[in-house]
Amino acid sequence: MKIAVLDDYLNVARGLADWGGLAEAEVVFFDAPLPADDAARAKALAGFDVIVAMRERTPFDAGLLSRLPALRLLVTTGLRNNAIDMAACRAQDVVVSGAPGHPDSVGATAELTWALILALFKNVPAEAANMRAGLWQTAIPASVAGKRLGLVGLGNLGQRVARVGQAFGMDVVAWSPNLTDARAAQAGVQRVDKQALFTSSDVVSLHLVLSERTAGVVDAEALAAMKPSAYLVNTARAGLADHDALVRALTGRLIAGAGLDVYPQEPLAADDPLRRLDNVVLTPHLGYVTPSNFVAFYGNAVAAIAAWRRGEPIHVLNAA
Catalytic residue numbers read: 237, 266, 285
HSE toward the beta carbon, residue 94, CA cutoff 13 A = 30
CA distances from residue 78 to 73, 175, 231, 276 in whole angstroms, order as listed: 15, 26, 29, 32
Contact 315, 98 (CB under 8 A): yes
CA distances from residue 40 to 22, 33, 70, 268 in whole angstroms, order as listed: 28, 12, 16, 19
The angle formed by the CA atoms of residues 226, 232 and 236, to the nearest 5 degrees, is 135
Strand spans (E) along the chain: 2-5, 26-29, 50-53, 73-77, 95-99, 148-152, 171-175, 190-191, 203-206, 231-234, 257-260, 280-282
d(CA 122, CA 147): 14
Give the largest Cα separation in the chain, rounded: 64
Nearest to 255 by CA among 234, 235, 286: 234
d(CA 182, CA 190): 9
d(CA 155, CA 176): 10
The angle formed by the CA atoms of residues 207, 100 and 1, to the nearest 5 degrees, is 130
CA 277 to chain centre: 21
